Amino acid sequence: MSRLHYFAREAAATLLRMAKTAKDPAVASGLIQRAADLKDRTGELPPVDVETMDEQPSKPLTRN
């Protein structure tokens, strides 16, 4: 893991910890968004297309 990826991962973890303790939902949401942006920039997570996720039918969790 390169230093840049390590730093981005640590910064994202710090932002998530800060969001967890934030009292204002808008602040928490902003911190979570910034953490997600950091992870996207480092290429650790594949980008997710939210629009296509909504179109897919939900699968049952158990078989009946």
Residue 17 domain-assigned (yes or no): yes
Residue 63 domain-assigned (yes or no): no
Residue 39 domain-assigned (yes or no): yes
The pTM (predicted TM-score) of the whole model is 0.59
Residue 13 domain-assigned (yes or no): yes
Residue 53 domain-assigned (yes or no): no
Cα 6 from Cα 17, distance rounded (Å)? 17
Q: What is the pLDDT along the chain (64 residues), one digit of tens a residue?
A: 577 778 888 888 899 999 999 999 999 999 999 998 888 887 654 444 545 544 555 555 566 5
- Number of structural domains found in the chain: 1
Residue 59 domain-assigned (yes or no): no
Which structural domain range is residue 20 located in? 3-45
